[in-house]
């Protein structure tokens, strides 16, 4: 039983290494904070968002684009709440 378990763990590690390398390479790109060079792009994106809200251009979105925007908003909200839980060190309420 122990020999089978050790062989299974060795196989698992061998199979997981390439996938973990891919995950690490994506994490290095996607999880970095914005640089000062990114600030103009962020500002223009926010101004385009405000302008589209004023003109009603958001009504011209396809269902796919609207669904993707909704998923992104839900992801941002979830990360906000996870950050709140980490920051207050409690799942429910604040330690007063």
pLDDT single digits (tens) 21-36? 999 999 888 888 888 9
Give the pLDDT score at 94. 63
Alpha carbon 6 to chain centroid, angstroms:
35
pLDDT single digits (tens) 42-54? 999 999 989 988 9
pLDDT single digits (tens) 60-93? 889 999 999 999 999 999 989 888 888 887 777 6
**Contact yes or no for 24/30 (Cβ under 8 A):** no
């Amino acid at each position: 039983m122990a020999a089978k378990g050790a062989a299974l763990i060795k196989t698992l590690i061998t199979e997981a290494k390439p996938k973990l390398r891919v995950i690490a390479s994506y994490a290095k790109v996607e999880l970095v904070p914005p640089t000062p060079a990114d600030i103009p792009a962020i500002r223009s994106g926010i101004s385009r968002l405000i302008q589209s809200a004023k003109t009603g251009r958001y009504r011209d979105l396809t269902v796919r684009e609207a669904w993707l925007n909704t998923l992104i908003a839900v992801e941002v909200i979830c990360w906000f709440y996870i950050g709140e839980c980490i920051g207050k060190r409690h799942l429910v309420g604040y330690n007063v």
